[in-house]
Structure 1
Amino acid sequence: LCQRQLKAQQQRGPASQELTALKIENANAALLPEDGKEKAALGEERTESTGLLQGQGEEKERLQDASRAGTARISQDINVQVEKGKDLELEEQFEALRREHTETLQELQKAHEQEKLLLAESHHRSQVALQETIQALNSQLKSFQERMKRVEESLLSTDYKKHIQEHGSPSPFWEQELESLHFVIEMKNEHIHGLDKKLLNLETVVERNLLLEEKVKTLQQENEDLQVRTQNHLVMARQLSEELVAARGALEKEAQLREQAHHEKEELLYRVLNGGDGSPFPIAAGEVPLIAT
């Protein structure tokens, strides 16, 4: 029986071998005569075996705690890396949106400036043409009024009245003059009607120019509003960038604190397992203090 138990003991671990040895000793002790000394020795051996079992249980619990702490640290590191990846992705999206917004704003401002220049040039040309037309019409009207005045003075002149009194009827010369005057008057009337139409057209052009001026003012106001919105967007973008940098710094600091806490736990566990024998805690290559402040 003892040989079988020893053979089975060799196939088990150190802890199991110690337990088996104790059991064998207890069995052998049971076969011998039981006197007082043997009972006392047996009690001491049982006490020692119980202490060994308790120590092994505590060591097992410490190892399990260390394993759970390592698993938690790995999970935290993975979460930190995932958060950093999300932050980088959000920052890239923000930069892309900011560039797109800047390009769109520049295109809108460029199109607005071109349209404003075209409207200003068209308005200036229309005003110049309108002034020239008005001046020409005023000159023609003044000339026509002067000629009409001369005709009236000629018709009512003393010579014409005297000729009518003396001869009773106008001479062929005066008849021709009257016909010529009637023809001129009819032509001038037609010309006046044409001028009236031109004036109406010019009034339409003036109204159109006024509408263009209103449109230019509206576009200027929209441009100012767009500039204000652009400034607001830039301020918001700067604020978001600062918040992103602050959040990233906080995450990095938290990760460093977690790493330092884990390092301290490992050092404490190492000292507990080694029984405080004074041996220095091994530091991995490339591992440096994480928090300077």
Structure 2
Amino acid sequence: MIFGARRDVRVMGRGPEWMRSRSSAPVELHTDRPHAARVYDYLLGGKTNYAADREAARRTLQSLPNAALVARQNRAFMHRAARYLAEAAGVRQFLDIGTGIPTQPNLHEVVQAVAPRSRIVYADNDPIVLTHSRALHTSHPAGRTAYVHGDLCQPEDILGNPELTRTLDLDQPVALTLVAVLHWLPKECDPYEIVARLLDALPSGSFLALTHATNDFERKALEQIAEDFQRTGSTVNTRSKAEIAEFFTGLELVEPGIEVVHRWRPDAGDIEAESLSPTDVPLYGAVARKG
């Protein structure tokens, strides 16, 4: 869980579970077994988790004592990036893909505190996330939030979703946020192509903000983590700083460029971030503008 909640970015097929997530019928939450998004919620101090999730989190912490710290710093990056985009960059539209279970404050709460009229679309394909998001994503009355059930490996389906096009004006700048999601993509999905296709649909003046697990340090430990996730059916693709930089080809990076997340524009007085070394959090983060 040190890389954020596992993002089920592939559409689940056309079986009963998928149909339940698209209808008004209840979604089976499977509270008797751990769910990655709820484990992440627990690590963040959230309340949307159950006994099985908490036990899985405790096992993770035994193997990786800094797991909760990594989760917090990843989340803190999202908050700082969102504030920068709303305050300094003046962005009023956001598309967050791979949102996970809402944990306050969520992206829309951060940006609408700056600009209440902001519009935010969340996208994920996990029916459990869908259920919680519908209940917890409440917009400021001056703005709007929406939730799109979609597959990151099929970005055009997200971009063309009627709920998205009713909420966002794709002729105006949009901040695309991909926080701790790209490293979960299965190997048959090309993350560089996917990001390029999403950005191609957005106009000049739009932004890309992302975090991504890196193998630049603690390589052996990260390889073990990847093997552990592989046994559960999940793929973790860590990348070097140079490989992560490829996502920003043709974009103008915002200072300080690509940094470990706790060193990207840290808040003054953030004692935890100030105490960390560059290798304590194996995640890079960056924000960049499309010219």
TM-score by structure 2 length?
Answer: 0.17
What TM-score results when the alignment is normalised by the length of structure 1? 0.17
Q: Which has the higher contact order (CA 8 A, sep 6+)?
A: 1
Question: Larger % of helix: which?
Answer: 1
